[in-house]
A and B are shown apart, each in its own frame.
Chain A
Amino acid sequence: MQITQPLAETAERRRENLLVRIVRRLADSRELTLFVLVVALALAMSIVYPNNFPTASNMRAVLLNLAPVGMLVCGMMLLMIGGTFDLSVGSTLAFSGVWAGVVAGWWGWPAESAVLVGILVGALCGLVNGLIVTRIGINALIATLGTLTIYRSLTYVTAGTGVTPISDAFAAYGRAADPLFRIQSPFWAMLVLVLVGGWLVARTRFFRQFYFIGGNPRAAQLSGIRVDRLILIGFVIMGALAGLAGVLGAARLNSAVVNAGVGIELKVITATVLGGASLKGGEGTILGGILGVLFIALIENAMIINAIGVFWQGLVVGLVLLFAVSLDRFKTSGRA
């Protein structure tokens, strides 16, 4: 073998036209691709809908709406980096929200404890998922498909049609807004999570282990990485994040809705894969995930402004997903 960087490179170059080169460059970094797409989309929308899109109220609505998905993407990205995933997040979200509602609304506990209980219930749901996957060894798809229905059913059993209203003190947690932009707390919570989570996953030794697990679980195990324990922790984090999203959502509406988060898992997984996670594991960043969320949110917003029916949204999001994933085929590091 010869390491003939310049020679081979030029040979390679000559055979590629400019377009392929640009595509390849973009495909090499999913974050960059998405960032360009998001900026381009936002610019295009500002030009096409100058009265509807770049307004403060529309921005506020977009950012607030993407908050729950954004929180969940942090956990889902971690799990998918580790080569697994959780379908039960929507049910966990509702179950946690309802428990917070029950505690604050029906039992009259202080709001702080209700928030805490909600998050703990979420973490507990995650723990159960994790135990089923790691201890019993049931495949994550089946395990969390099962708990998806179980948690949803438990939600109905707990609160029937939901808890409305909960309490003003509790609602304040979801409605507090910053003085400058006047965006409510779920968005800020998500922002903090993305920043802290993004740093943790990208930089720390502890979370780096998830990349190894996703890359090759057996090799990770034999390298002395505690695979099962980490996957369990990943599920607990995922659950706690779903719990937080559920609690803040319930607080913002001052109402714990039993149907909260139905179908959200698909949106979350779409954003995660769009953001660079691979179903095989070992790849992805939180930054990519959140860009994925942003991208989907923009597309949805465009359709709302255009008054295109919700029925079409799925089609567009699906096409975008397929397009972004097919970019992988252009990666230079891929197999020849």
Chain B
Amino acid sequence: MAPRLEINGLSKFFPGVRALDDVSMNVEAGEIRALLGENGAGKSTLGKIVAGVYSRDQGTVLVDGAEIGTLDEKAAGDLGIGIVHQEGSLVPQLSVAENIFAGRQPTQWLGQVNVRAMREQAKALIAQLGVAIDPALKVSALSPAQAQIVEIAKALSRDLRILILDEPTAALTLTETEKLFDVVRRLAGNGVSVIYVSHRLAEIFALCHSVTVLKDGRLAGTRKVAETSTDELIRLMVGRDVHFSRSPAGRKIGDVVLQAQNVDAPPLVRSASITVRAGEIVCLAGLIGSGRSEFCEAIFGARRRHGGSVRIGGTAIDPKGPWDGKHAGIGMVPEDRKAAGLFLGMDIVNNVAATVLSRVSSGANFSNRKAEALARNFVDELRIATPSVHQIVGNLSGGNQQKVLLAKWLAMEPRLLIVDEPTRGVDVGARSEIYRLLRALADKGVALLVVSSDLPEVLALADRIVVMAEGRTVGELPGDGASEEQVLRLATRYTASVAEVRNQADMAEA
């Protein structure tokens, strides 16, 4: 029998970039195939070609033995090919249910949308993922993690033959990830083929049957998961060995830089306190909806604070907006790089310059030369893969976008750098670079507050771990010697269920 999906000699060119070069692979029905590779290796491009988002330049694609010609998203959907995009594809102004059934809403007489049926079905799809999200909510009111869950539900709403998941767990915590895995396994059990893109190797060993590695747009190899190892995969991907060791202790920890006490920013932050010293990396852990990002925003000035105090270097600050936070020496890398972080239509130079307009100017004049020099520095230092510093950031691969986002805030040379999910969608090689970079920053005496849903990351980075639950800081662990279980126990002890917190939050907002 023909394989479910057969790709032969697939190539795709972008101006100045060969994103895919003669890639061939077969995926059987019911197989879960991991797609691995560094940032910019071409994983998303491959997924998008199969799903009809991009056209291919060379090669053939066969589904169940039948060659598919040029197809668009709609035709691919009708063929039973579903995709969850890395960068999100929801319409923020519309409700969760409408997004899930975009263009295919259940109708009643005269083609009227049957809102009740649509919401019921949406609710059921989301419940499958073990989460409760009100289908009537607007997508703009969701957290990135919730939005991700809605994306997945949207893909599940069709009769699928092939499901492409492009880094679906980047915004999810452990519990939600496991729910997702259950769903994927069930789908595969029913004969759906899954292409699963992720940078988290552990997930691949937990979920997938086989793995295909891309390097620089070329096929680097395909392996059975049972017959390979992390080291081999990393070598295929990066071409060298990469290690994530904890930072050696003995960094000089200095004076208190950030002291936040009983910060109250309803509805999601009730009473949170934290202290970060110069040269220290403090990780803020917790479940989705525990108010970590919101707490950070309140410190930075991106969210109104109703109570409590924030001191930077001993001076109380009351930021009216992010500009005040920035003025006090705080930088914040936001969680949602597409909506809140980057200027996707602008080039790398301008993105990097956005936080340091005065530094890249001579007098009142914006200096393109200085901005370019600055951007070039970061492209080299962070090894951002791009044909030039004038590449439009929206055209970079997800991981490289994340590096640009980081560069934008590193350029500002903050005293306190808040990083919300520093390695979302970043490949192993780059991840270790970002860790190195954050550590180097700490070595230079910068205070770092890192929010992360990735527990191994928390354990690798943190000098101290602060755990939040239900908008409160509920506990603290030394980074050295802490275990995932300890963190999880603290994070869940106070939380009946995530859904409950959300419901309360919604009520408080109403």
Contact = CB atoms under 8 A, between A and B. Distances in A.
A336 B54 contact: yes
A30 to B, nearest CB: 15
A226 B365 CA distance: 19
A222 B341 contact: yes
B394 interface: yes
Interface string B351-377: 000110110110011100000000000
Interface residues of B, number: 51
Contacts of A283: 345
Nearest to B357: A205
A51 interface: no
Interface stretch (B15-23, B243-251, B458-466): B15-23
A118 B476 CA distance: 64
A198 B17 CA distance: 35
A8 B387 CA distance: 12
B344 A1 contact: no
Interface string B59-91: 000000000000000000000000000000000
B141 to A, nearest CB: 15
- B contact face: mostly helix, strand, loop, or mixed: loop
A208 B350 CA distance: 10
Nearest to B391: A333
B217 A1 contact: yes
B392 interface: yes
Given A205-B361, A222-B334, A225-B323, A212 B16 contact: no
Nearest to B332: A222
Nearest to A227: B321
A1 B357 contact: no
A221 B322 contact: yes
Contacts of B326: 223-224
A4 B21 CA distance: 11
Nearest to A333: B392
Contacts of B322: 221-224
B6 interface: no
B36 interface: no
Interface string A199-228: 000011110110110011011111111100
Contacts, number: 121
A219 B343 contact: yes
A205 B357 CA distance: 6
Contacts of A223: 322, 326, 354-355, 408
A303 B205 CA distance: 72
Nearest to B387: A3
Interface string B265-309: 000000000000000000000000000000000000010000000
> Size band of the A side of the interface?
35 or more
A209 B357 contact: yes
Most buried by A among B21, B42, B216, B321: B321
A218 B341 CA distance: 8
Interface in B1-57: 13-19, 21, 40-42, 54-55, 57
Given A208-B366, A223-B408, A8 B17 contact: yes
Most buried by A among B40, B323, B327, B339: B323
Contacts of A335: 394-395
Given A221-B322, A222-B340, A3 B17 contact: yes
A306 interface: no
A220 B357 CA distance: 12
B264 to A, nearest CB: 21
A218 B386 CA distance: 25
A225 to B, nearest CB: 7
Contacts of B473: none
A282 B354 CA distance: 13
A215 B343 CA distance: 6
A212 B343 contact: yes
A161 B13 CA distance: 65
B342 interface: yes
Contacts of A2: 17-18, 21, 216-217
B148 interface: no
Contacts of B354: 212, 219-220, 223, 225
B355 A211 contact: no
Nearest to B397: A1
Contacts of B174: none
Contact of B40 (A1, A4, A220): A1
A80 to B, nearest CB: 14
Given A2-B216, A205-B364, A218 B41 contact: no
Contacts of A225: 323, 354
Interface string A322-336: 000000000011011
Nearest to A228: B321
A215 B345 contact: yes
B385 A1 contact: yes
A8 B18 contact: yes
Given A219-B342, A224-B323, A8 B16 contact: yes
Contact of B216 (A1, A9, A211): A1
A335 B55 CA distance: 12
B6 to A, nearest CB: 24
Most buried by B among A11, A208, A221: A208
A9 B364 CA distance: 38
B127 interface: no
A12 B408 CA distance: 32
A7 interface: yes
A263 to B, nearest CB: 31
Contacts of A9: 15-16
B346 interface: yes
B325 A206 contact: no
A17 interface: no
18 contacts: A1-B19, A1-B42, A2-B217, A8-B14, A8-B18, A9-B16, A205-B358, A205-B365, A215-B344, A216-B342, A218-B339, A219-B341, A220-B354, A221-B321, A222-B322, A224-B355, A280-B345, A332-B15
Given A2-B21, A224-B323, A335-B395, 18 more contacts: A1-B17, A1-B217, A2-B17, A3-B386, A9-B16, A203-B366, A205-B366, A206-B364, A208-B357, A221-B322, A222-B302, A222-B340, A222-B341, A223-B326, A282-B343, A332-B15, A333-B392, A336-B54
